[in-house]
Amino acid sequence: MTLDLRSADPGRPLPHALPDPEIHGLPRDFVWGAATSAYQIEGAVDIDGRTPSIWDTFSHTPGAVENDDHGDVACDHYHRMPDDVRLLAGLGLDAYRFSLSWPRVQPGGRGPANAKGLDFYDRLVDELLAKDITPWATLYHWDLPQELEDVGGWPERDTAYRFADYAELVAGRLGDRVRHWITLNEPFCSAILGYQIGCHAPGRKDFGAAVRAVHHLHLGHGLAVQRIRSVVPAPVQAGITFNPSQVYAASDAPENIDAARRADGMGLRLYLDPVLRGQYPQDVLADLAQLGVDVPVEAGDLDVIAQPLDFLGINYYLSDVVAAGDEPGRTVRIPQPDRPVTAMGWEIHPQGLTDLLTRISRDYPALPIYLTENGAAFDDSAYDVSAEGRIEDVDRTAYLADHLAAAGRAREAGADVRGFFAWSLMDNFEWAYGYAKRFGIVHVDYATQRRTPKQSALWLRDAAQATRKR
């Protein structure tokens, strides 16, 4: 069958040949994986004792999500998990990064574990291990129990302690088999998109609350690492995943250099400095103070937050060129028209990944880095479908190849990058965009729940194989 063959971006020529699966600079023991998150794929939102999360509430708020989509069914992974693990195994990947739904494991966010909820993840881990796939568990990928939001959510300090209790429940049960733990996914998104901009759950628009959320997410991370280490037998690998953007100043003009400093401060250093250096960046605190906002640090917090880690997770999608805006202290993003964009409108810039990884390993040394997410949404209906029914997603394949090559270049420049998780294993609920955007390397037909590996998935399989044979 042939569909209308158009590039997702009409201005961009389609690549003609598949990228070479031999990626320069990646070692034989590089970890190849794919990632998902609970609310985006599981569905089964009111089954086996699960209570609502802030994303259930938000997605059922009319107008909050494109097309009023929600995660009630999503990819129905809760019921199809063994098949999905078989699919993963068929792609020959080493590792699978998934997240646990907090309100499935601990309904309401307090008290004892919900046995049925925890059993689901227990079975998932066993299925993965039986197929030689290493589980990488993320404890929090944005689905705060609604009851905790009702008493203030992340802007309240108590949420950090609730998160630590939940972390201990999960790690205590799975820690005999799960070695790799990620406390938080992209705290920037939880705090800024959720509490300042309001385009993500819980949909609040309060900058002060967002900054308080940042600090309590950090605190929750540090407490959770302590709890994980207290219940998981060695050797445990504990880390956190951030999504910093690589920021460039639009010019050497001092006001643009300062705009880049501010953007880098709010997007990268506000997160990496407390967690990896045990201090907030002074210039960012000063910028915040000028806006009348304080970070609610209490005595001893930074020691808790800066727990020694075993790895750093980085999610990379885009970089930003910024300039000073018209009002003092305002930063504006300058679009780069020569860069192609994904279906999200995100500019494609693999060199930004090389620059980001090189910079992080220079400024925050001695920590192995894993790319815990990278990938792209494209309009799959624009591609050819092969005789076997596979989607020839040339743009996504090229995107993955270019970013893996960028990671290889960063390694050659000294960055200790050890693995790559494609976002995402399968098309899923893309938050405020609902099902309109497809990031999967496996296509999901939402009407039938049929999964079909796209060309990008098979290319990733071949790239992993080629690297292992070195």
Choose, by CB under 6 A, the member of 146, 183, 245, 315 that binds ligand IFM.
315
Choose, by CB under 6 A, the member of 58, 423, 435, 459 that binds ligand IFM.
423
Site string for ligand IFM, 449-468 (x = CB under 6 A): --------------------
> Does 42 help bind ligand IFM (rule: CB under 6 A)?
no
Window 182 to 201, contacts with ligand IFM (CB under 6 A): 186
Q: How far is the CB of 344 from ligand IFM (least distance, A)?
A: 7
Q: How far is the CB of 65 from ligand IFM (least distance, A)?
A: 13
For strands 331-333 and 246-249, give the pairing: unpaired
Q: How many amino acids of this chain bind ligand IFM (CB under 6 A)?
A: 8
Query: 379-387, long-range: CB within 8 Å, 24+ apart, which pairs?
Result: 379/8, 379/343, 379/438, 380/427, 380/438, 380/443, 380/454, 381/3, 381/4, 382/3, 382/4, 382/5, 382/6, 382/7, 382/8, 383/3, 383/5, 384/2, 384/3, 384/5, 385/1, 385/2, 385/3, 386/455
Question: H or E stretch including 423?
Answer: strand 417-423
The C-alpha atoms of residue 384 and residue 391 are separated, in whole angstroms, by 6
Choice between 288 and 407, CB closer to ligand IFM: 407
Q: How far is the CB of 439 from ligand IFM (least distance, A)?
A: 6
- Catalytic residue, chosen from 42, 156, 168, 186, is 186
Choice between 276 and 376, CB closer to ligand IFM: 376
369: number of Cβ within 10 Å: 23
> Does 37 help bind ligand IFM (rule: CB under 6 A)?
yes
Q: Kindly give, in sequence order, each residue whose CB lies less than 8 Å from that of residue 422, ignoring residues fewer than 6 positions away.
A: 33, 34, 35, 374, 375, 400, 441, 456, 460
Active site residue 42: no
- Catalytic residue, chosen from 42, 373, 392, 430, is 373
Choice between 383 and 439, CB closer to ligand IFM: 439
Choice between 39 and 181, CB closer to ligand IFM: 39
Q: How far is CA 440 from CA 19, 36, 193, in A?
A: 18, 9, 23
Q: Which two tokens stand for residue 116?
A: 């049925």
Q: How far is CA 219 from CA 167, 210, 252, 304, 350, in A?
A: 13, 14, 37, 7, 32
Cα torsion through 403, 406, 412, 414, rounded to 10: -90
Q: 45-58: b or e for each residue (b if 16 or more CB lie within 10 Å)?
A: beeebbbbbbbbbb
Q: In this structure, which amino acid lies at residue 311? A: F
Residue 10's SS3 state is coil
> Does 373 help bind ligand IFM (rule: CB under 6 A)?
yes
Choice between 311 and 439, CB closer to ligand IFM: 439
Window 203 to 222, contacts with ligand IFM (CB under 6 A): none
Q: Which two tokens stand for residue 296?
A: 């609610």
Q: How far is the CB of 241 from ligand IFM (least distance, A)?
A: 9
Choose, by CB under 6 A, the member of 430, 442, 457, 467 that binds ligand IFM.
430
Active site residue 186: yes
Window 128 to 187, contacts with ligand IFM (CB under 6 A): 186
Choice between 106 and 315, CB closer to ligand IFM: 315
Q: How far is the CB of 345 from ligand IFM (least distance, A)?
A: 12
Choice between 146 and 315, CB closer to ligand IFM: 315
Window 77 to 116, contacts with ligand IFM (CB under 6 A): none
Interacting residues toward ligand IFM by CB under 6 A: 37, 40, 186, 315, 373, 423, 430, 439
**Catalytic residue annotation:** 186, 373
